[in-house]
Chains A and B, each alone.
Chain A
């Protein structure tokens, strides 16, 4: 297994409060799988990723990456937030190369590595520009490119397109699918958009209200490559209906 959550529970302790957030989560994800996670807002989806990235570092149970417990593993995972989190003080070029710089690469080498990707991500000509001069869609593509620059085959997305309007969101979904093809990346993708989840995923995991438990684990048998018209197919709508019911 590429990623494995074993009996993972998490409670946040406040000054005089306890917030039981995750309750005995068990998830297994195979190499190269694209798994979406959906669930009511506030149920603990983001927390799941925070545990994996060690942003939050105490929990019960165990998370294994390639069979090694998270605490022992020094494996880097790539993580993208709903907000683009581009640093206003860095040019696009310096933003997207940040993961390379932090992993110890020289600036010059980092620039060279990222060079071929600007075109692919629709950013060529904007390398020297500051993020606040770009549109929301472009910023999100830059954030996506930065996410791809992390030297890791595991990618975590936390509602990456939630703040983007419907038209651009579809473009970005398509874009992500194309970028992922042939890269053999293992992906955990959080969304509250059921259609998005079905469209992108090999598998969808449905979480309950907080404290979250896994209530459904649905394999999506739609063929790949995915195309826009599939969103209107009977199979697609059946899955959608089932998921809507599960969430209620």
Chain B
């Protein structure tokens, strides 16, 4: 029994990695054979070369982007928690504002972004605002929906035990909403880097977005891909960290 589950785990870990490696090798081969120009599609080996060559510069840009993303992510969490608790407490507010929230999500943020630049300038503020906007929605939705399905009978049980409202909140509502909350966080944290990158496209001193723009403007496809690789790796790492934190905080929540 034990052995078979551990081999399944091993398979889960190894197979995707193996697949990606093969894919990279295959791409390398195809580009080599078809003799595709580097400015159209660079070989993976060139991209790796660029990553190594530009590592100091890229590191600086990466740090900037992570800072913006995390700052925005944390602010989005705080806002989402406050707003969802209020909407859960006052159903009328939820009735009015929840649909508005959903509608607001259909506005293409990329179209509004230049305006943000006018409002908030070329500094970090614009980037953080964009990140907050993209992260806020998945978190607030997970919280609002999660709070709405907390078992009323469990709350009634607490009432029958003459529990104070604060106890009901801390001992039932908060833990009950945790799994949904973490699902929202995982989505949001992967958006956060994207949000920061998009905001940087508009103009910035430093960041993976501005590096990307420069790479595109000078037709350095290898630099562009190097940048993309970093965006992916950072996003996945952040996702993993949140996932890990969730498992540590919710030892009862197994599966999925």
Name A's B-contacting residues (CB within 8 A): 50, 53-55, 74, 76-79, 81, 83, 85, 87-90, 98-99, 102-103, 130, 132, 150
Contacts and interface: CB of A to CB of B under 8 A. Distances in A.
Interface residues of B, number: 22
Contacts of A78: 160
Contacts of A79: 157, 160
Interface of B: 151, 153-154, 156-163, 167, 171-172, 175-176, 178, 250-254
Contact of A83 (B153, B172, B176, B254): B153
Contacts of B161: 76, 98-99, 102-103, 150
B178 A85 contact: no
Contacts of B253: 88-89
B interface, over-half SS: helix
Nearest 7 Cβ contacts at the A-B interface: A53-B160, A89-B175, A79-B160, A130-B252, A55-B156, A102-B161, A89-B252
B177 to A, nearest CB: 11
B169 to A, nearest CB: 13
A interface, over-half SS: loop
B175 A77 contact: no
Contacts of A54: 159-160
B119 to A, nearest CB: 43
A53 B252 contact: no
16 contacts: A53-B156, A53-B160, A54-B159, A55-B160, A74-B162, A76-B161, A78-B160, A79-B157, A81-B153, A88-B252, A89-B176, A89-B250, A89-B252, A102-B158, A130-B251, A130-B252
Contacts of A87: 154, 171-172, 175
A93 B167 CA distance: 18
A77 B160 contact: yes
Contacts of B250: 89
A65 B253 CA distance: 41
Contacts of B151: 83, 85
B251 to A, nearest CB: 7
Nearest to B152: A55
B153 A53 contact: no
A98 B157 CA distance: 11
Contacts of A74: 162
Contact of A85 (B154, B163, B167, B252): B154
A69 B75 CA distance: 50
